[in-house]
Amino acid sequence: MGTASDIKLINEDGLRLDGRSADELRPMKIETDVLARADGSAYIEWGGNKILVAVYGPREAFPKHTQDIDKAVVKARYNMAAFSVDERKRPGPDRRSMEISKVISEALSSAVMVNQFPRAEIDVYIEVLQADAGTRIAGLTASSVALAAAGIPMKDMVVGCTAGKVEGQVVLDLSKEEDNFGQADLPMAVLPKSGNVVLLQMDGDLSVEEFEKASSMILEATKKIHKIQRDALAGKYKAIALERSGE
């Protein structure tokens, strides 16, 4: 955060490096059922992020001491491929990925109806193939699609987005450069129906006003992202239904 640089992140017209305005999202694409072996899966491309998610379960939790007698545990594992970033990332879990796994697990647990599956676990494997800022939120957004595709009961989908401060201005959905050289980064995930916040982190500093602005921008953006999630899920089934009814 706040590394000194000569790069002008926002130009005179108020446009950002990639030509977006302050409240514009990067292009996003979600696909479901991309893996045959998994119970549910999703693939997301969000800006330069490319992330694959596989969901397994619910199945009996193993090792046995991780079981909870009255609810299922959601075990998300966020993992970055060695080739996902500019400089080779040393493979394996590290402090950052363990933290992200934890916050994603907790965010998903508040949507999944864990009480229906005592002693069980739900595995969510998040593999980041290419990283370009906002991977935790992209991974979480794709995870909730994969969970829905796996037929796991949920109260609501989980939708996330980031906002941040760049050159003193609050902007939505930070890109790599803005994340590295900006002043603040605010990833946030909500349950769109109730508006409950299930993930909120902040790197850098925001004033109360800036925070309010950033969070309202995110809430507005989650509506669009939620629509993309739903379209991704329904696509295949709607196509079959339409094809058959037309016969």
What is the contact surface with other proteins in residues (CB under 8 A)? 39-40, 57-60, 69-70, 111, 113, 116-120, 148-157, 191-193, 230, 233-234, 237-238, 240-241, 244-245, 247
Cα separations (Å) of 30 from 101, 173, 191, 195, 235?
21, 17, 18, 22, 11
140: how many CB neighbours lie within 10 A of its CB? 28
> Toward other proteins, which CB reaches closer, 100 or 146?
146
Shortest Cβ 241–other proteins spacing (Å): 5
Shortest Cβ 122–other proteins spacing (Å): 9
Shortest Cβ 51–other proteins spacing (Å): 20
Q: What is the DSSP letter of 171?
A: E
> Toward other proteins, which CB reaches closer, 19 or 151?
151
Shortest Cβ 204–other proteins spacing (Å): 32
Whether the Cβ atoms of residue 1 and residue 133 lie closer than 8 Å to each other: no
> Toward other proteins, which CB reaches closer, 57 or 182?
57
128: how many CB neighbours lie within 10 A of its CB? 24
> Toward other proteins, which CB reaches closer, 52 or 147?
147
Whether the Cβ atoms of residue 68 and residue 108 lie closer than 8 Å to each other: no
Q: Which of 61, 63, 74 is nearest to 119 (CA)?
A: 61
